[in-house]
Each structure stands twice: as structure tokens, then as C-alpha cells.
Amino acid sequence: MKIFYLPDLGEGLSEAEIREWYVKEGDTVKVDQSLLSVETAKAIVDVPSPYEGRIEKLHGKAHDIIKTHAPLVEFFSHDKGAIVGNLEESTQPFQEGAVVIGAPVSSIATVKALPAVRALAKQINVDLNTVTPTGPKGQITAEDVKQHGLTGSVLLKQGETLHGTRRTMAVTMTQAHEQVAQMTLMDDVDLGQVASDTDITVLILKAMVAGIQAEPSMNAWFDGKTCQRQLLTEINIGVAMDTSEGLFVPVLKKVNECSVMQLREKINSLKETVRSRTIVPSDMQNATIIFSNFGTISGKYASPMVIPPMVSILGCGRIHEAAVVRSGKVIASRVLPLSVSADHRAVTGGEVARFLAAVKKFLESAA
């Protein structure tokens, strides 16, 4: 393209108005031929063409104001105006609305919450727009969301937070419930042959030892995470004790090595320390199996909870008079209901059954 720019028409005039074009696009003109008339501040003048050639484009229409040195007429030439390539020209008019320098003023803002918090809200179905933020710079924190979740619930209008043994029980039982694959086997023991002044509790503990000797897999610790089981040679029986303060489980260590008298002494001593809240932590640790004598209160059968890492628990119901069948004859006898639970992740049904059989045999043949 060859461009003719509006020349300085004299005396430093900075612009001129196009009055009338004498030529149109496509016309061929000669040098000095008048192209158009323009009006300056001073006069109306005709502008002659500096070139000979064909007019390709007129830059402006009648009454447009053109600045001095601005493009006026474009003459056709082989020039494409690009040394390589192809510059596209749009046929559409340029659509650009109002442009704002910088950011437009806005009062809208999204709620502020870290991605993890947004995910949490989604998970527990909380609408972030209803949550009051307490975090820095107006952020909604995870606590804010949880709080909203909690205060939104209708359950505990006047709940109190648990402490001490009750809290421990809530936590322990939640974990136990989540982890253990519990099975329970029940049976009745005929205590007819056992003298009525026998220390039944100690007898049961000794029966548990017999049961473990018959089926050692009931005296073990199991870790579900690593899938490891440790069979234990010591038999430490945790004895569940119900107190006004809650559930305690003091542990009788090495029951298999203790005499009946020793066991009774130990039980009494532990009971006392529990009652007086002087029990030491070591007396509540390392149980390998648990014994729950809920029968002293009431109830026959139960599905007692196995507490990891132990794999079993023996529950004893209330000793009561019941009809039993001996050698084909129905007679009244003292009956002890037993319920033994085991963690089926570590103990087979056969193992539980053999244990229970051994316990029952020991008790029924004790004289």
C-alpha cells in the first residue's frame, strides 16, 4: 500500500475537515489531479494527488476531521503490507463494550473457605452461605462448619460432655465396635455337683484357665491394622467391675500361677482399690482376656463386647434354679448361664466352642 498523508496545508494548521471527495475508491488518478477539497481554519483548498495510480481506500468521509499527517488516501500497490504470512482482516465491526481500567466496583464476593473446608461442608451437607465465619479475613473454618453441623442438630438440646470413665467407655466401645468382628456362643452350666459354699467367682476364673489351656487362641492379642496375632503365655484376666463411678476393669495377673486363696485375696484387694479410687494404672493393664460377671446383678445371656487387643470375653449370667435333665430325669439344679464372645478376625468358631466346652467341663466336674 502506498499512503498519502494529509500534508501540512500551511502555517502549522493541525487539522482540516473533508468537504468533498472528487474521486472514489477504484478510480485511477494522475499526478496533481485534485483528490478532494478540505476546509481549514482559514480557507477551502483542493488537495492534489502526489502519485499516479489507482485509489484503493479513502480514509474518511465528507465532514470528517482529519489531522495533519494522518492517512488520507491509500493507493493500490503490490505491497501486501506484510513481509511474510497473511494478516487477516475482519469484516465484522469490532464489538467491545465499556472497558473498565482495573477492577470494576463490586459488592459480590464468594464465601471464603479453604478447599478442604468446602469439601467438608459438602460432605456433611452444610450450606456455606449460612455459616458464620470466625477465621482470619472472614474465612469459614472447619470448626465453623462442624459447629454449624452440630448446632443445627435437634438431638441434644441439653447434653453434657462426658468425662472420665464414661468418656473412656464411649471412646473404647466406639473403637471396639468399629474394629471387632464379634461372635457369641452361649451355654448353660449345671452346677449341681458344686458345693454351695464354693467361691464361684474364683472357680470360674480357674475354669477360664482350663479353657485357655484347651484353646490357647482365646488368650491372645490381635492388631487388625498389621494383621498380627500374639499368643500369650501369661493369663491376665480383666475383671469387669461396676461401680458408682462407672465401669472399671482391674486385671488379675498370672491367674494360672495363683492358688484359689491368692486369687480371692487379689480380687478383694482390687475391689477395694477400685472403690477407694486408689487403683494404680499397672493394675488395669495387660489383660489377656476379660471376665464379666453381670449375673451378680441380673440377666442370663449376653453378647459381651470384645475389647481389642484382646480377642475374647466371658460373660456370666445369674446363677438360678432351673430344670435340668440328668440321666433322662428332669430335676431342679443350680444353673450358670455362660456367654463367650470372641473376635472372629482372630478366633475361629471351633476355637470358641472348644474353649466353652473346656470351661463347662471344668465347672461341671468341680467338686
**Beta strand pairing call for 289-292 and 312-316:** parallel
Q: Which is nearer to other proteins, 69 or 166 (CB)?
A: 69
Binding footprint of other proteins, residue count (CB under 8 A): 43
d(CA 18, CA 20): 6
DSSP string, 14-73: -EEEEEEES--TT-EE-TT-EEEEEE-SS-EEEEE-SS-EEEEEES--TT-EEETTSEEE
Q: Which is nearer to other proteins, 38 or 340 (CB)?
A: 38
Closest distance between other proteins and the C-beta of residue 104, in Å? 5
Site for other proteins in 91-120 (CB under 8 A): 94-97, 99-104, 106, 108-110, 112-115, 118
Judged by CB under 8 A, the stretch of 79-87, 158-166, 224-232, 267-275 that binds other proteins is 79-87
The three-state secondary structure class of 218 is helix
222: amino acid identity, one letter: F
How many CA atoms are closer than 13 Å to the CA of 179, on its beta-carbon side?
A: 22
Q: Which is nearer to other proteins, 108 or 154 (CB)?
A: 108
By CB under 8 A, tell whether 67 contacts other proteins. yes
Binding mask 131-160 for other proteins (x = CB under 8 A): ------x-x---------------------
Q: Which is nearer to other proteins, 109 or 154 (CB)?
A: 109
Whether residue 35 contacts residue 21, with contact meaning beta carbons closer than 8 Å, is answered with yes
Helix H or strand E segment including 139: strand 139-140
Closest distance between other proteins and the C-beta of residue 105, in Å? 9
Q: Which is nearer to other proteins, 90 or 161 (CB)?
A: 90
Whether residue 220 contacts residue 229, with contact meaning beta carbons closer than 8 Å, is answered with yes
Q: Which is nearer to other proteins, 71 or 246 (CB)?
A: 71
By CB under 8 A, tell whether 66 contacts other proteins. yes
By CB under 8 A, tell whether 86 contacts other proteins. yes
Q: From the list 83, 195, 227, 280, which residue makes contact with other proteins (rule: CB under 8 A)? A: 83
Q: Which is nearer to other proteins, 102 or 159 (CB)?
A: 102
* Residue 145 cell numbers, joined: 462448619
d(CA 13, CA 32): 22
By CB under 8 A, tell whether 197 contacts other proteins. no
Judged by CB under 8 A, the stretch of 65-73, 304-312, 319-327, 351-359 that binds other proteins is 65-73
- Is the link from the previous residue into 93 a cis peptide, with omega within 30 of 0? no
CA distances (Å), origin 194, targets 19, 204, 260, 332: 133, 12, 15, 14
Closest distance between other proteins and the C-beta of residue 218, in Å? 51
Closest to 219 (Cα-Cα) out of 314, 128, 292: 314
Judged by CB under 8 A, the stretch of 60-68, 244-252, 304-312, 319-327 that binds other proteins is 60-68
Q: Which is nearer to other proteins, 84 or 156 (CB)?
A: 84
Closest distance between other proteins and the C-beta of residue 71, in Å? 7
Q: From the list 11, 78, 88, 129, which residue makes contact with other proteins (rule: CB under 8 A)? A: 88
C-beta pairs of 257-266 under 8 Å, 24+ apart in sequence: 260/199, 260/202, 260/206, 263/202, 263/205, 263/206, 264/199, 264/202
Judged by CB under 8 A, the stretch of 30-38, 75-83, 148-156, 329-337 that binds other proteins is 75-83
Q: Which is nearer to other proteins, 5 or 301 (CB)?
A: 5
Q: Which is nearer to other proteins, 90 or 132 (CB)?
A: 90
Closest distance between other proteins and the C-beta of residue 162, in Å? 35
E-strand spans in 175-319?
182-190, 220-223, 228-231, 237-239, 241-243, 246-248, 251-252, 289-292, 312-316
137: amino acid identity, one letter: K
Residues in contact with other proteins by the rule CB under 8 A: 1, 3, 5, 59-60, 64-67, 69-71, 81-90, 94-97, 99-104, 106, 108-110, 112-115, 118, 137, 139
